[in-house]
Amino acid sequence: MMPTIKDVAEKAGVGIATVSRAMNGTGYVSARSREKIETAIRELHYIPNERARNLSRKQTGIIGVLIPDFQTPFYASFLRQVEMELYNYGYRTMVCNTVKHSDREAAYVEMLDRNMLDGLITCAWSAEAEVYRHMDKPIVSMDHNLGEGIPLIHSDHKTGGRIAAEHLLEKGCKRVLQLGDYFPVYTPSNDRYREFHRIMDEAGVEVRQLDLEWNRLDYEYYEKYLSEHLRDVKWSDAVFASDMGAIACYRFATERGIQVPDHMKIMAYDGTDFTRMMMPVMTAVRQDITKLASSCADTVVRLVQRKEPVRMHRIIDVEFQKGGTT
């Protein structure tokens, strides 16, 4: 027969209410009592009824995570890290792929509103921000400003754009091709392009922008787009793009006999594992995915558990990744 909370209380020599407070973290328990309870749990091999605990707390133990596209290295890495962080906090993760499916994003927001989720981390931008603004629920946004009252976490994209621009200028680049993925609404990630353009304009360097579909992040799209739109690839002596775009440009250039970095420099933005698997390693501005994920997880858990303080705006540092493509 499986041990019960009553068995734990008897073995530890404390009341059932004390065991409940210790396991749920809902009240004071002395260090001595807590130690006896933990010892009793181990010796009895007691496994708490998670469903019952969640029902008593009116919680599900589930955090939703909205990701634009699982295929991209950045979001795949973020998802892996944030799932691990949430698990360490005692939460399970429900994941939704939202690219080209704004109805899915709205559906998950509705699930949160109906108390089917304890909280939500959103990296998506398909739905209108208004979908979120009426919500008085635990929501954390990464890279998308959803308005006052919703914590925003993102990389220091302005510094990232400056690092990329200054590095290419140091390398003597004069004609830069930029693969942009401007979004229909403002996001902090746009700041990298704005700062990159500003510095290049001041230096008198020409930047030619290729505007991509904002909701297409897959490698196949980049390949197809380049073959259809980039006829004069030899015009540029440098490329600035996200990891997937930079890798696609590298292949596109080398297949046409353009030597990287001798005749063309390629600068990536994200600096995911894919860029370090290449030979040579891709020069990049690296976002700290581990810190982004841990900040998102910590913030949403604080909101769910009503812990103070909650930082409403966190900016995570970026860094230069030295490689052989510039």
CATH of the domain at 44: 1.10.260.40
Same domain assignment for residues 230 and 306: no
The answer as to whether 326 is a domain residue is no
| Confidence (pLDDT) at 119 | 92
CATH number at residue 233: 3.40.50.2300
Q: Three-state SS across the chain?
A: CCCCHHHHHHHHCCCHHHHHHHHHCCCCCCHHHHHHHHHHHHHHCCCCCHHHHHHHCCCCCEEEEEECCCCCHHHHHHHHHHHHHHHHCCCEEEEEECCCCHHHHHHHHHHHHCCCCCEEEECCCCCCCHHHHCCCCCEEEECCCCCCCCCEEEECHHHHHHHHHHHHHHCCCCEEEEEECCCCCCCCCHHHHHHHHHHHHHCCCEEEEEECCCCCCCHHHHHHHHHHHCCCHHHCCEEEEEHHHHHHHHHHHHHCCCCCCCCCEEEEEECCHHHHHCCCCCEEEEECHHHHHHHHHHHHHHHHCCCCCCCCEEEECEEEECCCCC
| Confidence (pLDDT) at 162 | 98
Same domain assignment for residues 122 and 267: no
| Confidence (pLDDT) at 34 | 85
Same domain assignment for residues 191 and 270: yes
| Confidence (pLDDT) at 308 | 78
Owning domain of residue 211: 157-288
Same domain assignment for residues 225 and 142: no
The answer as to whether 95 is a domain residue is yes
Residues of the chain falling short of pLDDT 50: 55
The answer as to whether 224 is a domain residue is yes
Total of domains in the chain: 3
| Confidence (pLDDT) at 191 | 93
The answer as to whether 322 is a domain residue is no
Same domain assignment for residues 148 and 294: yes
Same domain assignment for residues 162 and 188: yes
Q: Are 140 and 120 in contact (CB under 8 A)?
A: yes
